Amino acid sequence: MIKKTILFILILQYFCMSSNVLSARNIPKKIILNNMSYIYHANEDSKITVLQMAFYGGSSIDPTELKGISQIASRMFIQVSGTDNIKNVVSKNSICYMRVKDNYIVITIECLSEYFDDAVKIFFKTIRKPDITSMRVGFFKKRMRQVQKNLKEDYNYVLNEAIKMCFFKGTGYENTIYGNTESLKNIKKKNIANYHKRNINLSNMILSVSTDLKEDIISKIFNKNLKKFLIGEKQNFKNIILKNIENNIIRKKIKGDLCTIAYSFLLRFNKSISRKEFIYGKMLETYLGRGIGSYLWTLRAKENLTYSINSRVVFFKPFGYLYFFIKTDKENVDKTLNLYKKLIDSLNKGIDEKTFNSIIAYSTTSFQRQNEMKRALSYNLIFFEVLGLGYDFYANFTKEIKNISLIEFNKYLQRILAPSNRLSIIIGD
């Protein structure tokens, strides 16, 4: 046992040393252009360029009667038309895809660096002047209805929607990005056109690029292709006051042999999330259910009550939530839930310094590893900007996490994991 512990510490030290090297190398910076700026990250590990193009807004500000419009609209904005353009994209292995989040939408362009100029030219034109027709709107609405049907049996999706409905009801954050039957009926061609006019502009845009290309080359490409975008206005987020949790236990039925048991905790911020609160959340996520040896691992290793254990922290600009979940057999639900509760309640007394230091080390390493690839880092740089943490949070993460004390973290544990802030969810047949 001692040998294994020593080996684990040596491996952990090695990864921590590696992560420090990563954070000091190729630090991202903001480049000022004529009408806007972009985040530039030099990375020569590959001859691939990844561009993230985000627009403030997202599904949280979609009108209730048009829920799902962000998903349909952003899908339409990246659909390349014209035979020559399609051939160009396919022959040069360029790809473009999108994601809709509660506070923003992101369009990602990936290609070989030598073709980046061509890819930007084609996709920027498509995004700036999408082919919006009633037929295409109808096609995407049909696909959305199929997605809605499939997600009804998705444990993780049902879990997250139940959490959001309980914590954020009436705020715009509680509804699915895929809309509902009634809202999809209401979405027409003119709604998509108005959405584009309101959201797709320079003032509402954030660009982040990770590339082996030089800064001056990227700036030249952007200056050439961004000048035709409208200046527009930035979308503002409204102030939201959350209500107290009305129901501490939620049960959802899904057909299957297993049950998912989860606990979720509301994260309240003072107007918007701070860097320290982001780090607290990532530390708690790491400690509770991230891999072998995490705090809740005893439910599997010792009690043999669960097949899987995991934890997630979800951040929005004004608030967020933490949840950890396990999958177990139906006959073990009550026993598992009771032990689950005891383990969480025991954290009210806090953790010791040894455990705290290991959380700091593992969280630091995990953060660096999660941001090692071009795709992940370029995306998270935008994510940090939207949250208001700043793109430079990435480079300063190691320094910031070292400034957190054991006393501070234990106070955070007691506040967040309090029974009054706790939501229990059981999903199964």
Segment 329-348 shows an average pLDDT of: 87
| DSSP three-state, residue 370 | helix
Phi then psi for residue 143, to 5 deg, are -65, -35
* Mean pLDDT of the region 258-283: 91
Model confidence at 221, pLDDT cuts 50, 70, 90, reads very high
Residue 54 is encoded by which pair of tokens?
A: 């985000």
Residues 282, 283, 285, 286: what is their CA dihedral angle, to the nearest 10 degrees? 120
Q: Give me the mean pLDDT over the 81-101 stretch.
A: 87
- pLDDT recorded at residue 25: 52
- pLDDT over threshold 50, residue 16: no
- A 10 A CB-CB count for 236 gives 9
Average pLDDT score over residue span 378-397 = 96
pLDDT at 9 over 70: no
> Is pLDDT above 90 for 331?
no
Q: Is the pLDDT of residue 28 over 60?
A: yes
Q: Are 71 and 177 in contact (CB under 8 A)?
A: yes
Provide CB contacts within 8 A for 414, sequence distance 6+: 348, 350
Give the chain's length. 429
- Give Cα 166 distance to the centre of its chain: 20
Q: 110: Cβ–Cβ under 8 A, 6 or more apart, which residues?
A: 48, 49, 50, 51, 94, 95, 96, 375
CA angle, residues 387, 393, 395, in degrees to nearest 5 = 155
Q: What is the DSSP letter of 177?
A: T
pLDDT of 196 reads: 96
Mapped onto helix, strand or coil, the DSSP state of residue 352 is coil
Residue 251 scores a pLDDT above 50: yes
* pLDDT band for position 92 (cuts 50, 70, 90): confident
Unique residue bearing structure tokens 């593992």: 362
Residue 412 · residue 280 · CB < 8 Å: yes
Most confident range, picked from 110-119, 175-184, 417-426: 110-119
Q: Side-chain half-sphere of 182: how many Cα atoms within 13 Å?
A: 4
- Contact between 58 and 210 (Cβ < 8 Å): no
246 vs 370, more confident: 370
Ordered domains of the chain (ranges, CATH)? 25-226 (3.30.830.10), 245-427 (3.30.830.10)
Question: Alpha-carbon dihedral of residues 7, 10, 11, 14, nearest 10 degrees?
Answer: -170
Grade residue 378 by pLDDT with cuts at 50, 70 and 90: very high
* Spatial contact of 307 and 327, defined as CB atoms under 8 Å apart: yes
Average pLDDT over residues 347-353: 91
Query: In this model, does residue 210 exceed pLDDT 80?
Result: yes
CB < 8 Å & 24+ apart, contacts of 191-197? 191/66, 191/69, 192/69, 192/72, 192/73, 192/76, 192/132, 192/137, 193/132, 195/69, 195/70, 195/73, 196/73, 196/77, 196/130, 196/132, 197/230
Mean pLDDT of 196-208: 96
Q: Is the pLDDT of residue 155 over 90?
A: no
**What confidence tens digit (pLDDT) does each residue in 93-138 have?**
899 999 999 999 999 999 999 999 999 999 999 999 999 999 999 9
